Structures are given as C-alpha cells and as structure tokens.
Amino acid sequence: MKIKSIISSLFILLLVNSASFAQAIDGSQLWFTNQQHSAKVRTAIPTIVCIQEESATFQIIKEELAESIPALGIGEVSFTQKTAKNIVLVGTLKSKAIASQLNEDELTKLGNDGFIIRRSKGEGTILIAANTEFGTLYGVYEFLRLIKTSSSDLAEIDRIEIPSYHRRVLNHWDNLDGTVERGYAGHSIWKWDELPSTISPRYEAYARANASIGINGAVLNNVNANPDILTKDYLEKVKVIAGIFRPYGIKVYLSVNFSSPKELGGLENSDPLNDQVKAWWNDKADEIYSMIPDFGGFLVKANSEGLPGPQDYGRTHADGANMLADALAPHGGIVMWRAFVYNPDGDDRAKQAYKEFVPLDGQFRKNVIIQLKNGPIDFQPREPFSPMFGAMKYTTLMPEFQITQEYLGFSDHLVFLSTLFEECLNTDTYAEGPNTTIARITDGEVFNDSITAIAGVANIGEDTNWCGHHFAQSNWYAFGRLAWNNKLSSAEIANEWLKQTFTQDADFVAQMQTVMLQSREAVVDYMTPIGLHHLMGWSHHHGPEPWCEIPGARPDWLPTYYHKADSAGIGFDRSTTGSEAVLQYAEPLRSIYDNISTCPEMYLLWFHHLSWDYILHNGNTLWDELCYKYSSGVDRVKVFQQTWDRMEGKIDVQRFKDVQARLAIQATEAMWWRDACLLYFQTFSGKPIPMELERPVHVLEKLKQIKFDMTHHN
C-alpha cells in the first residue's frame, strides 16, 4: 500500500516534470507555468474545500483551486458546503462556517482587500477568510503561492495580510490605434477595433494574473490621451473590459485629455473655472458611472510635454485637478494627477516639478492624488528620489514606477527592477525626521491619507510571453507584490517568482536569484554609473548617444544638458554652487548631497561637476573609476550569460533559448554602451583606459553613425 502510493506520487512527479519539458513552454502562462512543489507540502494539504458563498468571484476561487491543487499533485478537489475536519474553509462572514470560526472585529480590521490564512497547530483545517470576496480571492492566491514556494510543510500557518496601498494600479501607455508608447512587447492587448463584440481571451488572463499578485486597477490608455476615449463608442468598449475585470476585483481607469470639453464637446474652451466646462465633466462622469458603476477614475497628464492643461487658461494644477475631482466625487472616483512637468526654458529640469507643485500643497481635494515618478527627471536607471516626496504634507502622493524598460534596454536586457523599486521605497527622505521613508510617506503611515495608491507603467503587449523578455515578467510581478506589501525584499520576490515561473530546482533558483538581484546594478554600470543620467539616443531612447546634437531641439532633451562633459570634468552641478537642487531635500540629506565628500558616490555626478582627476574614496581618479564601472557592467552581463548557459537542461528548451539569445544581445549592447560613453568622454578627459581593462571593440566615429531602427522593436 505504502509502496504503491510512493510509486504513484513518483509517477505524478514524473508526469509534472516531463510535461514541463516536453511541452514547449512559451511564457504565455506567466507565473502560473510551474505547478510543482516540494513533496513535503503535498501530504499536508486537504483536498476538500468548503465554500458556502456564491458569486462570480467565488466561482473564480473554485476554478483556481480546482485547477491548481490537482496540478500540484495534491489530489482532486471536491467542494462542499458542509464543514468537517481536515478541510480548506474559504469565505467571508456571510458564510456561517466562517462566522463560527472568526469574530467580526478580526475580519473588519482587514479592510477591503486583506485576508487571514490560518491553520492552528495540530489542526487539519486551513482557514482562508476575509472581509470581502476580493480579500478572499487574494487569500486563495496567497495560499496557492505558499504551496508552490514555501519551504515549510504548512502544518501551521498564521498569516494576516493587509495591502500597503488601497489602489495598486497598472498604467498602460496604449494608444487607441493599437500601438504602445514605450512598449517593447508588441502591440496593445486591447483590441479596440474588435470591441465590444469580440472579446480576446487575453482580457481575462490579464485580470487573473493581476489579481494573483494583488493589482486592483488598470488605466487602459496612454497618458498622452486621445480625447476619443471618452466618446460613447469607446466607453461601450471600456464597459466590456470592466465587466471582465470586475470579479477579479480590478477597476478600470482612463487617462483623459484636459481639452476634451473643447475637442469632444465642442465647447469654446476647457477652462476649469468655466461653468460649461464643469457641467460637461459632470455629465461625462454621470455617463461613465451609469455604464461602469465601479469605474476607478481619471489619470491626467496636463501641461506636460505639450499637452493641454489648466495653465493654458492661467489656472493652476489644483484648479484643474479639483474640477475633475468634483465631477467624480459623487461616484467615489479619484483623480490621479501627474507631476511630470518641466519647461524647456525653466530652471534645472530636476527642480521644476517641485517648484510648480509644492506651493499648491493643501489646495487639492481629498480624492486627488498626485502621481509622482520615483526620480526628479525621468525613470533613469538610477536617480535620487524626487524631493517632492515628503515635501507635500497635506497632499496625497503616489509613486509612479516604470515597469516597461524605456531607458533600461527595452525588452532585450535582463533587468530585475524590483531592486530599483525597493531602493526608492526604502529611501529615507527625513521629511518628518528619521525613518520617513518613501514607503511610509505614500502608504499612509506618516500622513494618514484616506486614499493611498501606487502606479507602474506596464510592460505588457500582445507578444506570446506578454512582456517580450521572459524575465521582464518578473518586473510586472515585482511591482504587484511590492504594491501589495512595500516591505517585501527583492530577494524574496525573485525567489518566489523563479519557483513559480521556471522550476523548484534549488541550484537554478539560487543562481538566477543572484543574477536578478545584480542585474539592475549591472545596467547602471554599463549605461550611467556614478550618477550620470540621460545619455541615451534621441527620441527612441535606445542605446548610447552622449554626443547627440539635434539642431533646434529642446536642450533638456539632449544628453549634453545632463552630463556637461568638458575638458575640466563631468557632471551636473546641482549643489549650492550650481542649480541648488539640493535645497529641495530635507536635512541632513541636503548637506549630505551638497558636500562632495559625503554625497553617495552613486549620485556624485548627478549633484556635482567634478574634475577628471577627482579622487574617489577608493583612491581611484574619477576617470579611472568611470572606466572600471563601465567595464564591470559589461563583465557582469558576461557572467550572467555563463550562469544561464549552466542552467541548460534544468528548464524547458524554448525559454532557455529565448533568454540565451536575449542575453547575447544584452552583452553586445552593454559593450556598445561602454565603448560609446568611454570613447566619447575620453575626447574630453584625454586620459587612457586603465591597462588591465578590456579595450574598446568599437570605433567612436562609427558608433556616431548608427541610426537606430525602431521598427524592429514593435
């Protein structure tokens, strides 16, 4: 008997393994690819599931359990409404079985989305309970994640999770014509021309993937918004998507063009203080909510990069945001108003958003959230944090991260962005004394905001594997996990993603976790080390062009504005002897950044213009250190390639080959970056590349002639 069961479990294991090897795995299943887990866990999980509630969401819960539990080799699931010993008991207080186990207080504390997973010592039954059906769904996804990734036998579980942010939102920069701004995974997944009648299966797969990591909102269209999105025709299409998302707890939001009343409504202007304009927005909000009662709200890019906004009428960002907020408030909607503003003839670009927004602190309605990029410039491989975090004490701020790799090698480079997000969230702003981290400023801990939110610019397209690079899926995953729990570490996130996406093989997980955790630092080193930034090519933003000159172009769109290399040295002086951007930071950061000897070296050339001979803490001259950094970035990518090659046979052939091919591109492009930057900066420094380093393999004049062809990336 015993032997028989061992043999049958071995057989199941073989089946699971051979399935993953024989079947071509194309990445379309995201982190649901790997249905394996340690044998230890298998014995401890009950297969009888008691659910006493019914709804579309509970139906999804049942389907998830019915699919995963057998696939994990635990056994066929049976559902019951009766309680018994040794079951998985799932639900809210509406379920009598749950109500008999938990009191109301315990559950109301969890808010809308939190959950409890509990199995007391010596008990067979596992309880998954929440205040709402969505909380229950999140609990079930966490339960499945635990089975797939935990090293514990789950004999005892006691987890209470409440998400860090209320609104955990993906921003799609998807245009209505199907293209995706800064998208590197093919065209948009939203098929506007087929909707509302034809429904792509991707919509539900997308909702499921998001719900599984706690994302509960999606802005469907580009912040460079086409007014047409608010026409009746488009709203009919949006309504269909919203209907698919609803049982997964995902709200739909739209980016709106501030000129919509004029462009769409035929009004004379779109002045936020004009009563007709207000009435137009009120009517539009009524119309939207009559079709989509749980609509999330608007995202707005205004008076930014040429887009219309309230300043066109001499009004402020607060006037504009509040008008929209008033239209949405009766329906419970919010306005996410972006602070990404800078003017070509303004002050240092890094200072401008702060100068425009901080004086407006206290003037925004409660349902307005200012959406702020992590850094003061623009999603560079590394930036110091935006000094607006902490500076607006009466205004809710939400971080905006870029998941799509506009400046980090598109979908060709393996870069795990979790460490970038984590670095930003954990940064102490000192705005209210020590331990005023960006995480605590934005999640309501410091300022007690009534609505909290976080956004990530999606890297999703119609490519089979959704994100172009198989490892780019980990950035979508990491964003969701950090939005859920901004205290998670990137190491934990990488570990659980690898196990669910590829294999449980301990060697694979350990080695690739190391690669992932080093990958962002590698890209910083081979693109923009020591605080350099914005060295990329014009408009497409791919590849190095530190020399780029475009006659008549906005200076703040050109690399020379940022690196300021000359024979004396390199870097942007933002100290008190320069643009004084340091003054926007709270003490002691202001002084730390201002002083060359205390400024962290990773931000040195962000805040200071230094001579090529400047001696760094490790004794190297600035020039030599630049050479070492660029070289070490390249070297690391070569090590990533070797590590990956050693993984052959541990995972399916298709994904192995795909990643291998992209790593080769990354290595080639890392050398391109290294050579372009060093050879160009060398024309100013006049210094040799240290002898022990690999020589450039490119010729500067040839690199300058490269014309990047965007078509291959769409």
| 3-state SS, residue 79 | strand
The residue among 539 and 683 lying less far from ligand GCW, judged by its C-beta, is 539
- From 156, 283, 305, 549, active-site residue: 305
Give the Cβ contact number of residue 252 at 10 Å: 22
Size of the residue set binding ligand GCW (CB under 6 A): 10
Question: Which of residues 26, 106, 153, 181 is near ligand GCW by CB under 6 A?
Answer: 181
Question: Nearest 10 degrees: CA dihedral of 194, 200, 203, 204?
Answer: 140
- Minimal distance, residue 680 CB to ligand GCW, in Å: 22
- Residue 581's nearest CA partner among 383, 349, 412, 382 is 349
378 forms part of the interface with ligand GCW (CB under 6 A): yes
Which x/- pattern, by CB under 6 A, does the window 184-223 give for ligand GCW?
Answer: ---------------------------------------x
Give yes or no: 305 in active site. Answer: yes
- Minimal distance, residue 462 CB to ligand GCW, in Å: 19
Which x/- pattern, by CB under 6 A, does the window 502-541 give for ligand GCW?
Answer: ----------------------------------------
The residue among 173 and 562 lying less far from ligand GCW, judged by its C-beta, is 173
- From 174, 271, 348, 406, active-site residue: 406
The residue among 106 and 181 lying less far from ligand GCW, judged by its C-beta, is 181
The residue among 23 and 539 lying less far from ligand GCW, judged by its C-beta, is 539
The residue among 223 and 558 lying less far from ligand GCW, judged by its C-beta, is 223
- Minimal distance, residue 364 CB to ligand GCW, in Å: 20
- From 113, 133, 378, 422, active-site residue: 378
Binding positions for ligand GCW, 381-420, rule CB under 6 A: 406
Question: Which of residues 224, 274, 489, 514 is near ligand GCW by CB under 6 A?
Answer: 224
- Residue 466's nearest CA partner among 170, 192, 209, 182 is 209
- The end-to-end CA distance of the chain, in Å, is 57
Give residue 592's identity as a one-letter amino acid code. Answer: I
Return the bridge partners of 335, or none.
298, 368
Question: Which of residues 32, 192, 281, 379 is near ligand GCW by CB under 6 A?
Answer: 379
Residue showing tokens 């940064």: 427
| 3-state SS, residue 510 | helix
- Residue 530's nearest CA partner among 437, 428, 633 is 633
The residue among 61 and 223 lying less far from ligand GCW, judged by its C-beta, is 223
614 forms part of the interface with ligand GCW (CB under 6 A): no
Q: 368-373 and 396-402 as β-strands: parallel, antiparallel, unpaired?
A: parallel
Question: Which of residues 119, 301, 534, 674 is near ligand GCW by CB under 6 A?
Answer: 301
DSSP 307-346: ---GGGGT--HHHHHHHHHHHHGGGT-EEEEE-----TTS
Q: Which residues contact 627 (CB under 8 A, 6 or more apart)?
A: 678, 689, 690, 693
The residue among 173 and 281 lying less far from ligand GCW, judged by its C-beta, is 173
Which x/- pattern, by CB under 6 A, does the window 626-665 give for ligand GCW?
Answer: ----------------------------------------
Give yes or no: 406 in active site. Answer: yes
- Minimal distance, residue 414 CB to ligand GCW, in Å: 21
Q: Hey, what are 178's tokens?
A: 């199907």
Give residue 525's identity as a one-letter amino acid code. Answer: D
- Minimal distance, residue 210 CB to ligand GCW, in Å: 21
Which x/- pattern, by CB under 6 A, does the window 337-376 give for ligand GCW?
Answer: ---x------------------------------------
**536 with 543: CB under 8 angstroms?**
yes
Give the Cβ contact number of residue 257 at 10 Å: 25
- Minimal distance, residue 478 CB to ligand GCW, in Å: 20
Largest Cα separation within the chain, whole Å, is: 83
Report which residue's Cβ sits closest to ligand GCW: 378
Whole-angstrom CA distances from 359 to 349, 363, 435, 533 are 17, 9, 24, 28
Question: Which of residues 42, 119, 166, 182 is near ligand GCW by CB under 6 A?
Answer: 182
- Minimal distance, residue 582 CB to ligand GCW, in Å: 24
Q: Hey, what are 69's tokens?
A: 């539990």
- Minimal distance, residue 458 CB to ligand GCW, in Å: 12
The residue among 51 and 300 lying less far from ligand GCW, judged by its C-beta, is 300
| 3-state SS, residue 10 | helix
Give dist(CA 282, CA 276) in Å, integer.
10
Question: Which of residues 32, 173, 192, 630 is near ligand GCW by CB under 6 A?
Answer: 173
**174 with 164: CB under 8 angstroms?**
no
Query: Long-range pairs for 130-134 at CB < 8 Å and ≥24 separation?
Result: 130/92, 131/92, 131/93, 131/107, 132/92, 133/53, 133/55, 133/57, 133/58, 133/92, 133/249, 134/57, 134/216, 134/249
Catalytic residue ranges = 305, 378, 406
Binding positions for ligand GCW, rule: CB under 6 A: 173, 181-182, 223-224, 301, 340, 378-379, 406
